[in-house]
Each structure stands twice: as structure tokens, then as C-alpha cells.
């Protein structure tokens, strides 16, 4: 299967992919704040620069894209048909880096939490996950 975009258009599209302040990350941030959780963003002094950091609870939370970080069993974790070897090497390197950074955080005494992009599509499910993670009752905030 050939790419529907020419090389320049594909390059421009891939350049537009952001590292932080993505839509899934903003959903998690808004909901966490609404639940009364306070956090720091993108702490550069921690391995992997977690998306949200809850210092008092020592929780480092990452919002991973299903495509880039290879969410197991997710329909969004597809592999492009062209340049398959390149993409598989890239995905393997991403996963190895994620494992290495999570292990470094754990060795520093942090709990590592990953929320997948597809999990942010349902706000009630995401809210239940955050409430369970932080042991919040359902009357903590007004919905």
C-alpha cells in the first residue's frame, strides 16, 4: 500500500504532532483539576518528564498516545504499511525508553501511572479511573 500523501505533506503532518499539551493530556488535566487534584506539569527534573506530577502523593502520570507508545490490544496502535522496518524500530525504541524511564522513576520512589489516549475518550470512565487512583469519593467534586 502506498502513502496517500507525498513526502512533503507527510513530513508536515508528522511535524505537527505535539509532545505536550495534546488533547488527551488536556482532558486529563481539566478533569484532575475539577476533582480537586493539584499537580505540576512536565517536571524536567524527573526521568521522562511526566505529563502530570502529584508531588505529595509521589505519582508521576503519563498520558500516552496509543499509536506512538503501542497500547497493547488497542485499535489505534496500528503500524503503517510503508517503511514497516523503520516504524517497528521506532516503536520498539519508544517502548524501551518508556520502560527505562518508568524504572528510573520507581527507583526514585515514584508511582508511575499511564493513561492511554483511548481511555480519555470517555470522561466518565476517565473520572472513575482517577477517583480510584487517588481514592476519592464520588462527592469530592460537583459534576
Secondary structure E strands in 70-121:
111-116
Rounded CA gap, 124 and 131, in Å?
10
Residue 103 is predicted with a pLDDT of: 98
Within the chain, which residues score under 70 in pLDDT? 1-3, 10, 13-19, 137-143
Q: Strand 59-64 vs strand 111-116: parallel, antiparallel, or unpaired? A: parallel
Residue 143 is predicted with a pLDDT of: 39
- For cell 466518565, the residue is 124
* pTM of the predicted model as reported, rounded to 2 decimal places: 0.83
Can you give the residue ranges of every domain in the chain? 18-134
Q: What is the pLDDT of residues 34-60, one digit of tens each?
A: 999 999 999 999 999 999 999 999 999
Q: Strand 52-54 vs strand 59-64: parallel, antiparallel, or unpaired? A: antiparallel
The DSSP bridge partners found for residue 62 are 114
Rounded CA gap, 143 and 100, in Å?
38
Whether CATH 3.90.1150.10 fits 18-134: no
Amino acid at each position: 500500500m502506498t502513502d496517500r500523501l507525498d513526502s512533503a505533506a507527510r513530513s508536515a503532518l508528522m511535524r505537527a504532532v505535539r509532545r505536550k499539551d495534546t488533547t488527551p493530556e488536556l482532558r486529563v488535566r481539566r478533569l484532575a483539576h475539577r476533582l480537586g487534584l493539584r499537580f505540576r506539569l512536565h517536571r524536567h527534573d524527573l526521568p521522562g518528564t511526566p505529563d502530570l506530577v502529584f508531588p505529595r502523593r509521589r505519582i508521576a502520570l503519563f498520558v500516552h498516545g496509543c499509536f506512538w507508545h503501542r497500547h497493547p490490544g488497542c485499535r489505534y496502535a496500528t503500524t503503517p504499511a510503508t517503511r514497516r522496518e523503520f516504524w517497528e524500530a521506532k516503536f520498539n525504541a519508544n517502548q524501551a525508553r518508556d520502560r527505562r524511564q518508568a524504572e528510573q522513576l520507581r527507583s526514585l520512589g515514584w508511582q508511575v501511572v499511564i493513561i492511554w489516549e483511548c481511555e480519555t475518550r470517555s470522561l466518565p470512565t476517565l473520572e472513575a479511573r482517577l477517583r480510584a487512583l487517588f481514592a476519592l469519593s464520588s462527592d469530592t467534586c460537583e459534576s
